[in-house]
Amino acid sequence: MPTYHRVVSFQVLQRDLVSNSATVQCANGTFLTLPLGGPYTVDKAHDIYVGDVWVMAGQSNMRGFGFMQDLVTQQPLVHDSISSVHLFQSNETWAVAADPTHRLSESPRSVHHRLPDPTVRDPGLVDIRGASLGLSFAEKYQQDNQQIPVGLIASAHGGTSMDQWLESGQDSLYGAMLERIKDAGGSVAGILWFQGETEGMAEGDMIHSYADKTRQLFDRMRVDIAPKIPIACIQLGRLISTSVSDNNWSHIRFQQQHLFDTYPHCQAVAALDTDNDDFVHLGARGLAKVGRRLAIAATHVLHGDNTSSSPRIEQAVVQRVQIKSGISMQFIKVSFQHPESIHWRSLSEVHGFSVRDIQDDNNEYAVIVKAVINEQDNSVHLFLNRDAEAVLSNNKNRLCLCYGWGKTPVCNLTTITDMAPLATKIPLSTP
Are 247 and 348 part of one and the same domain?
no
What one-letter code names the amino acid at 123? P
Assess whether 250 and 375 both reside in one domain. no
Note whether 394 and 417 are same-domain residues.
yes
32 pLDDT exceeds 70?
yes
Residue 298 shares a structural domain with residue 317: no
**Could you tell me if residue 237 is inside a domain?**
yes
One-letter amino acid of 164: Q
CB neighbours of residue 417 within 10 Å: 13
Mean of the per-residue pLDDT values of the chain: 96
Structural domain count, the chain: 2
Q: Is residue 267 part of a domain?
A: yes
Position 322 pLDDT exceeds 90: no
- Is there a single domain that holds both residue 423 and residue 291? no
Q: For residue 307, is it within any domain?
A: no
232 assigned to some structural domain: yes
Give the distance, in angstroms, between the CA of residue 94 and the centroid of all CA atoms in the same chain. 24
pLDDT in tens, 182-241: 999 999 999 999 999 999 999 888 999 999 999 999 999 999 999 999 999 999 999 999
Residues 347 and 289 in one domain: no
Give the model's pLDDT for residue 323: 80
The stretch 74-88 carries a mean pLDDT of 96
Residue 85's domain comprises 3-302
Q: Same domain, yes or no, for 326 and 393? A: yes
Does 342 lie in the same domain as 198?
no
Q: Same domain, yes or no, for 365 and 294?
A: no
pLDDT for residue 324 is more than 90: no
| Claim to verify: residue 392 and residue 254 sit in the same structural domain | no
Residues contacting residue 428 through CB under 8 Å, at least 6 positions apart: 316, 317, 318, 332, 355, 358, 399, 400, 401
CATH number at residue 246: 3.40.50.1110
**The pTM is what?**
0.96
Please check whether residues 202 and 348 belong to one and the same domain: no
Q: How many residues are there in the chain? A: 431
The answer to whether 191 touches 57, Cβ cutoff 8 Å, is yes
